[in-house]
Structure 1
Amino acid sequence: MGKKFKFTWLFMILLGILALAACTNSDEGSSTEPVQKSDEDVEKSEEGKTVISFWHAMSGSGQTALDSLVADFNASQDDYEVKAEFQGSYEESLTKLRSVGGTADAPAITQVFEVGTKYMIESGFIEPMQKFIDEDNYDLSQLEENILNYYSLDGELYSMPFNSSTPVMLYNKDAFKEAGLDPENPPKTFQEVIDAAAKLKTDEMKGFSMLTYGWFFEQLVATQGGLYVNEENGRAGDATEAVFNGEEGQRVFEFLNTMNKAGTFGNFGTNWDDIRAAFQSGKVAMYMDSSAGVRGIIDNAPFEVGAAYIPYADEVDRKGVVIGGASLWMSKGIAEIEQKAAWEFMKYLTTPEVQAKWHLDTGYFAINPSAYEEDIVKKAWEEMPQLKVTVEQLQSTEPSIATQGALISVFPESRQQIVTALENLYQGMDPKEALDAAAEGTNRAIDIANKTK
């Protein structure tokens, strides 16, 4: 996903509470509609521009790239000024939003990670993006369908995709050559990865690794066509139980267990920096990363880096990947002129020129595929063809309920259940037992959320 996520139990409990309270009404059951802020109350710059706040969770080089886009937008027109305000991690930003959401004090735009989608839809804090798309006759077909799918429900787009990423398998081409493997033909299926890992393993190097993080498990299930929860992945109605412990999930755990028992799997924990450092220092030959991290790895590895699609189970055909990252949400309750400013900024961000710059500066996908036709992107792809592999994997994804991704309000807690299950697996627990326990934990969280919604 391109950055570290710290899913502490405290936050998971808090997010669960938020999910349960998202649609809470008064004792009589009447809904509370935000009071619309008047245009006369909006902040104006010295130049008379309408000023809006944009809360985000980008740090480091991502924040630098974002600040540059904001500055370019502010300089491109005379009506609006966007103030980009870092709010900490995705979890911290969402917690802050809860205190002001649906009020005149809310930021015009908030960046929210993809697993916060269900919560945001039900929160009452936001105006669906579809409203502005319809009013402006905005051509949504110009944007990447496989990215839009995640943030759409019942044909309605709720937020504007922004920093979008998918997983990718990176590998050490030099190690492949030394092991007698074809560096231009990386393994595709689970069994091929298992076989290659055995050949790649040395006293200093493990064959394969995967961050102990639920996102990668979700992807390996989805690429088999498997669902995460029932009710059509939570898109036909509120999910009532996890189904990720079916045959697709079990294949993933057996895949990892086989290599772990053979000593060809490297367990580098839950920290993105640690697994990336292990790869760059030659401690592991293949691993799964975010597409947003590819450029940084290529720039820093002392060997030639290969990029490949994520592996899939031998028993099925590859279905593709689910989009990750975050999207931008429009606040309800702010002034209409602030919403118009926010909408103009969002449209600006989707233009090919801006998306080309964002793609190259950060490694995130361009949500407007026309960006890939820009000369600066073509030139970069010639020098770094690995970036093109990640785009091809996304664009070859088959649109389906599985690859659209699951919607549940307690996703962070469920991901922590998967982390625990993976840790137990690597300690020797039976794969099915470990996965079933994660499903049971997820079911408890879903049940509580549904009963108190």
Structure 2
Amino acid sequence: MKKVVSLFMVLLLVAGVLAACGPNREEGASGDGGKKAENKDKPEKLVVWEDEKKSGWLDEVGRKFTEETGIELEVKEVEMASKMKEQLRLDGPAGTGPDVVTFPHDQIGELALAGHIAPLEVSDDVKKRFTESSILAESYDGKLYGLPKSSETPVFIYNKELMKEAPASMDDVYSFAKDFTKDGNYGFLALWDNFYFAHAPMGGYGGYVFAENDGALDPKDLGLNNDGAVEGTEYIQKWYKEGLFPKGIIGENGGSAMDGLFNEGKVASVMNGPWSFQGYKDAGIDIGVTAMPKLPNGEPMKTFMGVKGWHVSGYSKNKEWAQKFVEFITEDENAKYRFEQTQEVPTNEGLINDSAIAENEGAKAVAEQSKYAVPMPNIPEMGEVWDPMAKSLQTVVTGKQEPKAALDAAVKQIEDNIKANHSN
């Protein structure tokens, strides 16, 4: 009997030891302890910087994120194009900066090199949410540094009173312009002395800025004076030589001069970006908008595309949760809501045919043209391209130089500038 009692006591002692080592019942035996471990690293809040006058949509979407995660959001508006970058440089190292920030994609290379933004590790399913070109725009040196927020690219805009329907091709635009252009009226205008716009025909004929190798841009391989670039520039030259473009839309004041003529009802169609839509409407012009008509060689215009993206600050102490937030706000439903509030066109594949975009003529045109657009190069060497190309194009359109010679000179200047300012 004593042996039985002793054995019973031993079993009780073993059970007590096991209970002491087991999970705390107050925490829950079904995995709550794991949640507490996960929540240990969860921040109380994330600081988000959105562009000026664009943060209202985050009231609703941010509320949903907080409900799902328990993380509060502190949203601040900072002008994106110029002030955002400088503010991050100051506030990031000081520990007072954001966790999540937004930038135009052409600033990514510089920001990544300086460590101001962190690379993202997202699944292929997340990447497939967006157009391939917009993911490429958000990448630098083969690494992904952001998820796309919206895109913009030049499109074909026409005055419906002067041009009843959008032409099917640039040959049709040319024929219309030959008949319409007289007495101070013009059939079609484009700022083709500006390389941002001139890239469309140059790229459509086979020109390119930097070659792409395995997802990275090669600044040593320039395609700005190859046969295609020259042919595209000759196409540009034709419009000026034949008097189809006025002399007053050259140089820095070209944009305002073109807009003025269009707003006065003296121009039937223009190539311009979505930023111009509201101004034309405010001037009383009944505009139609479509993707750029195809070039005479049957190829689409390869317009430059600008992508705005969401990024994780390189200084954030909450990078994992900041990335989760970026993934959340770029889901189709949330991206659509942002579009409805801001009219900035998302690059989500699943939204291209959504009624919110498909029934919006301007947004549909931007989405359609974006399929053929080329992301503006986002490597620092791109800064050496703009001025030499502008000067070379202006010598062509003013009849001072032929395309091949002008482009050769521009490429030589670009190569010298890259060697002088970007050599390791």
Same fold (TM over 0.5): yes
- Distance in 2 (alpha carbons) for counterparts of 1:319 and 1:201: 23
Matched, 1:325 2:279: no
Preserved CA contact (<8 Å) 2:210 2:217: no
Offset, 1:236: 4.4
Which shows bigger deviation, 78-87 or 263-272?
263-272
Offset, 1:168: 0.7
**What's the counterpart of residue 168 of structure 1?**
155
**What's the counterpart of residue 394 of structure 1?**
370
How do residues 121-160 of structure 1 correspond to structure 2 at under 5 angstroms? 121-129=112-120, 131=121, 133-134=122-123, 139-152=126-139, 156-160=143-147
Preserved CA contact (<8 Å) 1:128 1:159: yes
1:198 counterpart (170, 175, 178): 178
Taking CA–CA contacts closer than 8 Å with sequence separation of 6 or more, which of the two structures ends up with the larger relative contact order?
1
Offset, 1:274: 4.7
- Distance in 1 (alpha carbons) for counterparts of 2:106 and 2:309: 10
Matched, 1:445 2:417: yes
2:60 counterpart (72, 84, 88): 72
**What's the counterpart of residue 361 of structure 2?**
385
1:358 counterpart (330, 338, 350): 338
- Distance in 2 (alpha carbons) for counterparts of 1:261 and 1:354: 49
How do residues 368-447 of structure 1 correspond to structure 2 at under 5 angstroms? 368-372=348-352, 376-377=356-357, 381=359, 384-395=360-371, 397=372, 403=374, 406-432=377-403, 433-447=405-419
**What's the counterpart of residue 77 of structure 2?**
85
The aligned amino acid for 2:305 is: I
- Distance in 1 (alpha carbons) for counterparts of 2:74 and 2:205: 42
Secondary structure of the structure 2 residue equivalent to 1:128: coil
After superposition, give the CA deviation of every residue in 1:292-323 in whole Å (9 maximum; x if it has no partner): 544x2563353432323324542353375443
After superposition, give the CA deviation of every residue in 1:54-82 in whole Å (9 maximum; x if it has no partner): 1x5x4xxxx33x22122223433241213
**What's the counterpart of residue 94 of structure 1?**
85
Which shows bigger deviation, 319-328 or 141-150?
319-328
Q: How many residues align?
A: 377
The aligned amino acid for 2:396 is: L
- Distance in 2 (alpha carbons) for counterparts of 1:238 and 1:100: 32
- Distance in 2 (alpha carbons) for counterparts of 1:435 and 1:265: 21
Offset, 1:372: 4.8
**Structure 2 CA distance for partners of 1:301 and 1:423, relative to 1, 3 Å:** same
**Structure 2 CA distance for partners of 1:386 and 1:328, relative to 1, 3 Å:** closer
- Distance in 1 (alpha carbons) for counterparts of 2:330 and 2:184: 45
Offset, 1:340: 4.0
- Distance in 2 (alpha carbons) for counterparts of 1:420 and 1:275: 19
Could you state the TM-score of these two structures normalised by the residue count of structure 2?
Answer: 0.76
Preserved CA contact (<8 Å) 1:223 1:318: yes
Offset, 1:138: 5.7
Preserved CA contact (<8 Å) 2:307 2:375: no
Offset, 1:109: 2.8
Matched, 1:213 2:204: no
The aligned amino acid for 1:283 is: K
Q: Percent identity?
A: 20
- Distance in 2 (alpha carbons) for counterparts of 1:437 and 1:450: 20
Secondary structure of the structure 2 residue equivalent to 1:125: coil
Preserved CA contact (<8 Å) 1:102 1:331: no
- Distance in 2 (alpha carbons) for counterparts of 1:236 and 1:341: 28
**What's the counterpart of residue 203 of structure 2?**
222
Secondary structure of the structure 2 residue equivalent to 1:81: strand
**What's the counterpart of residue 114 of structure 1?**
105
Gapped regions of structure 2 (runs ≥ 5): 1-38
Tell me the C-alpha RMSD between the 2 structures: 3.4
- Distance in 1 (alpha carbons) for counterparts of 2:158 and 2:166: 11
After superposition, give the CA deviation of every residue in 1:200-219 in whole Å (9 maximum; x if it has no partner): 21313223222353221233
The aligned amino acid for 1:275 is: M
Gapped regions of structure 1 (runs ≥ 5): 1-38, 177-182
The aligned amino acid for 2:273 is: S
Bigger Rg, which one:
2
Secondary structure of the structure 1 residue equivalent to 2:418: helix
- Distance in 1 (alpha carbons) for counterparts of 2:103 and 2:96: 18
After superposition, give the CA deviation of every residue in 1:166-220 in whole Å (9 maximum; x if it has no partner): 22111223223xxxxxx3351523x443332222213132232223532212333
Secondary structure of the structure 2 residue equivalent to 1:323: strand
Which shows bigger deviation, 108-117 or 146-155?
146-155
